[in-house]
Amino acid sequence: MCLGVPGRVAVWIDQDPLMALAEIDFGGLRKRCQMACVPEARVGDYVLVHAGVAITIIDEVAAEKLLATLADLGEMNPQEASFP
């Protein structure tokens, strides 16, 4: 299963269409990510990142919901979970 993680575009490093690169803020942890799939993203936008590649722009409400869900998963006790 693949997992995309939301992050906020902090700063563009290179906006060349083939080598688009930006620094993405994941709640205080910043990583450089490939931005060729979302060249229209602006500083402050949320993007969904998978394997170091920003794959889509998402709105702030969706980003916050996803972050809350991921936080809940991190607090889940595997012994209490019911899996299909």
* Topology adopted by domain 5-75: SH3 type barrels. (2.30.30)
12-21 pLDDT per residue, tens: 999 988 899 9
Query: Domain limits of the chain?
Result: 5-75
Whole-number average pLDDT of the chain: 90
**pLDDT exceeds 70 at position 83:** no
Is residue 59 packed enough to be buried (19+ CB in 10 Å), middle (13-18) or exposed (0-12)?
Answer: exposed
- State the residue for tokens 């990583």: 31
pLDDT of res. 84: 54
